[in-house]
């Protein structure tokens, strides 16, 4: 498939969605959106400024204070959420094509995103209907209960990797909880976010509950974070941006939920299922073009199997099909944007002085016709990487992996914990005692034992150290978007000291 695929009826201009209306920026500002396969501009988008964020927050505030959504019964809200889920699934083919075109994500990996996004809405629809809260009583004396209520307008700032699905992770629980929202999608990938407005409208979500402002982080994102009438910010993105948002939220004492960067280790012991570990560690760093927060981008391998592992891993990495994202055979597509491509390639060059290149190390050969200028990076594997190397310590967020040997369990744990990040960890061993002890001592918010990224939406999602602040997932998400007000009633005689009597 050499001719570059372009989805039908592709919009050439993307607008904001505020108070139930598609609108341009008040001042007329726009920015360009690129297709990563050719790096050509295919659309403009309205570039949100402070005035546009003010308008969106005003619409969301009006819908929260005077609209029906926050006070509807859980069952009534759930019915709307189910309609949203069905509408997302109905858009599956269109969504996959748009997502692949906008992000460079291989089409076979984009196809599952609609199902995952829909499941988020179904899951939180079920959760709010089943939600129960604490009531505590002392017979004949007092009764205390929790009155849960939505906090208000939630600011949602989402990343450019699998954008539509990651937007659903925030939209579903915030809307389910009765909040109204302002979504600021990533500026590199605004295309699929434009589908939400029509999906929500047709499902019966009242105007003003969902608002979308496109724009760059330093303008639209900054205004949203600093807005005094937005009490909550949920952010997924890079750790240094998270630190900046943290500082800016302090002024108004906002609630924050942050899922940040990662440099997650995959630890392979000599007694592991070798083939399963190879499959998982390859998929873990090269799926989604390596642009995934939970990528196992540091592989730690026990010495007795180290050379065998490196050889097998490199052979498979060289065999990965890189090419047109719309080709079903493609396993690694184009990176999202030239800026990001330059960053990843700079790390490839740094790595050449920090490790042994056993696969990749540059641009792939034999790119499809017309895509020679696309943001393509060959799957790159560095072996013998020392723990103080930059490619061991710093998040690259591309199809680049560092492999390092270890001799003992203690050394493996020390290496695993030896970065500022702590999002995920993957452990491959058939020793039950070792696997649980290692899992419980590794500094990571999420650990997978002999498995790969299987997710249960009820379980907490988040990281420790520089990888995050707070957890979402299941009831933890509902807790973030709601206030739990304690109400106390005395049932017996009131015994209060009589001051001044």
User: Alpha helices of 287-353 — where are they, by DSSP H?
Assistant: 303-318, 338-351
Cβ(345)–Cβ(380) under 8 Å? no
- The rounded Cα 60 to chain-centroid distance in angstroms is 23
Task: Please enumerate in sequence order all residues whose Cβ is within 8 A of that of 303, keeping only pairs 6 or more positions apart, or say none.
Answer: 270, 405, 406, 407
Query: Is 259 designated active site?
Result: yes
Residue 285: both structure tokens together: 């760093």
Helices 113-130/74-90 angle, 10° precision? 170
Distance of alpha carbon 238 from alpha carbon 396, whole angstroms:
11
CA pair distance 132, 357, nearest whole angstrom: 55
Phi, psi (deg, nearest 5) at residue 445: -70, -25
Contact 412, 250 (CB under 8 A): no
Catalytic-role residue among 259, 291, 302, 395: 259
Q: Where are the beta strands (DSSP E) in 407-493?
A: 424-428, 446-449, 468-469, 482-490
Q: Which residues pair with 485 in a beta bridge?
A: 147
Rounded-to-integer distance, Cα 28 and Cα 192, Å = 22
> Cα–Cα distance between 48 and 37 in angstroms, integer?
26
Q: Is 58 exposed, middle or buried (0-12, 13-18, 19+ CB in 10 A)?
A: middle
Q: Give the number of other Cβ atoms within 10 Å of residue 441's Cβ.
A: 12
Q: What is the dihedral of CA 476, 89, 60, 18, to 10 degrees?
A: 150
User: Distance between CA atoms of 67 and 73, rounded to whole angstroms?
Assistant: 13
Beta strands in 36-79 (DSSP E): 40-46
Query: For the stretch 143-175, what's the b/e string if a residue is b when 16 or more beta carbons lie within 10 angstroms of its beta carbon?
Result: eeeeebebbbbbbbbbbbbbbbbbbbbbbbbbb
Decide: 45 and 14 in contact? Cβ < 8 Å.
Answer: yes
Annotated catalytic residues are 259
């Amino acid at each position: 498939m050499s001719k570059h695929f372009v989805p039908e009826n592709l919009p050439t201009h993307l607008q904001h969605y505020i108070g139930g209306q598609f609108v341009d920026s008040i001042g007329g500002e726009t920015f360009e959106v690129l297709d990563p396969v050719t790096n050509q501009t295919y659309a403009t988008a309205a570039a949100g400024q402070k005035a546009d964020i003010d308008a969106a927050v005003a619409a969301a505030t009006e819908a929260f204070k005077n609209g029906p959504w926050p006070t509807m019964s859980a069952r009534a809200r759930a019915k709307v959420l189910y309609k949203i889920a069905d509408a997302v699934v109905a858009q599956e083919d269109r969504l996959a094509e748009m997502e692949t075109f906008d992000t460079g994500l291989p089409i076979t990996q984009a196809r599952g995103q609609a199902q995952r996004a829909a499941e988020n809405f179904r899951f939180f629809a079920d959760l709010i209907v089943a939600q129960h809260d604490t009531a505590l009583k002392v017979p004949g004396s007092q009764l205390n209960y929790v009155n849960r209520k939505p906090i208000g307008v939630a600011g949602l700032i989402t990343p450019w990797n699998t954008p539509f699905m990651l937007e659903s992770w925030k939209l579903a629980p915030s809307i389910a909880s009765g909040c109204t929202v302002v979504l600021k999608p990533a500026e590199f990938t605004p295309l699929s976010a434009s589908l939400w407005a029509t999906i929500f409208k047709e499902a019966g979500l009242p105007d003003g509950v969902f608002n979308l402002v496109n724009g760059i982080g330093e303008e639209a994102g900054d205004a949203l974070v600093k807005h005094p009438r937005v009490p909550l910010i949920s952010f997924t993105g890079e750790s240094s941006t998270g630190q900046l948002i943290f500082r800016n939220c302090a002024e108004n004492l906002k609630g924050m939920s942050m899922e940040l960067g990662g440099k997650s280790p995959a630890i392979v012991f000599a007694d592991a299922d070798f083939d399963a570990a190879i499959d998982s560690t390859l998929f873990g760093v090269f799926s989604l073009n390596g642009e995934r927060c939970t990528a196992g981008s540091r592989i730690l391998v026990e010495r007795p199997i180290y050379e065998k592992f490196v050889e097998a891993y490199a052979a498979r990495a060289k065999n990965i099909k890189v090419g047109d994202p719309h080709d079903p055979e493609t396993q690694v597509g184009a990176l999202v944007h030239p800026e990001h491509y330059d960053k990843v390639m700079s790390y490839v060059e740094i790595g050449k002085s920090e490790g042994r290149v056993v696969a990749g190390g540059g641009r792939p050969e034999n790119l499809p016709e017309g895509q020679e200028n696309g943001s393509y990076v060959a799957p790159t594997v560095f072996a013998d990487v020392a723990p103080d190397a930059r490619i061991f310590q710093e998040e690259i967020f591309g199809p680049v992996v560092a492999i390092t040997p270890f001799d003992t369990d203690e050394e493996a744990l020390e290496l695993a914990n030896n970065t500022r990040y702590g999002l995920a960890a993957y452990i491959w061993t058939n020793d039950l005692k070792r696997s649980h002890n290692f899992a419980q001592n590794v500094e990571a918010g999420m650990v997978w034992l002999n498995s790969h990224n299987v997710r249960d939406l009820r379980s907490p999602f988040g990281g420790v150290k520089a990888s995050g602040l707070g957890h979402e997932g299941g009831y933890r998400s509902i807790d973030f978007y709601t206030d739990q007000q304690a109400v106390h009633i005395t049932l017996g005689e009131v015994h209060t000291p009589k001051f001044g009597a």
